[in-house]
Amino acid sequence: MSGLLYPIVKAALSGIIIMAVSEIARRYAALGALIASLPLISLLAIIWLWNDTADAERIAAHAEATFWYVLPTLPMFLALPLMLRSGMDFWVALGLACALTVALYLAAIWIASTYFGVKL
């Protein structure tokens, strides 16, 4: 694929997946959540990375780092609905959930490095 067309195809395909998930979630919340929970973007990134580099070690490092970065995002999916159901404004709840996630990212980076020797 030509130099300019390739990134356009990557961006379009990735965007179409995100749009499709949001449209499905609008109609069927649980199905949208199931699809969103699939590692589609991670798999696409791994495929693009393989296509771009064919570097197995880089892909292994990417997959391992993704594992460590997924863990701190999980509490957000409990905190956000809790805050929304308690009557908190959407944007405030989203901001607090994102701040929680950033704090947990920093903790995960420290824990992975300190206790597991993983450099993120």
pLDDT of residue 35: 83
Cβ contacts of 32 within 8 Å, gap of 6 or more? 21, 22, 24, 25, 26
Buried b (16+ CB within 10 A) or exposed e, 50-62: eeeeeeeeebeeb
In single-letter form, the type of residue at position 65 comes to A
Ordered by start, the domain boundaries in the chain are 56-120
Q: Does pTM surpass 0.95? A: no
Rounded to 5 degrees, what angle do the CA atoms 65, 37, 72 make? 45
pLDDT of residue 102: 95
With a cut of 50, list the residues of the chain below it in pLDDT. none
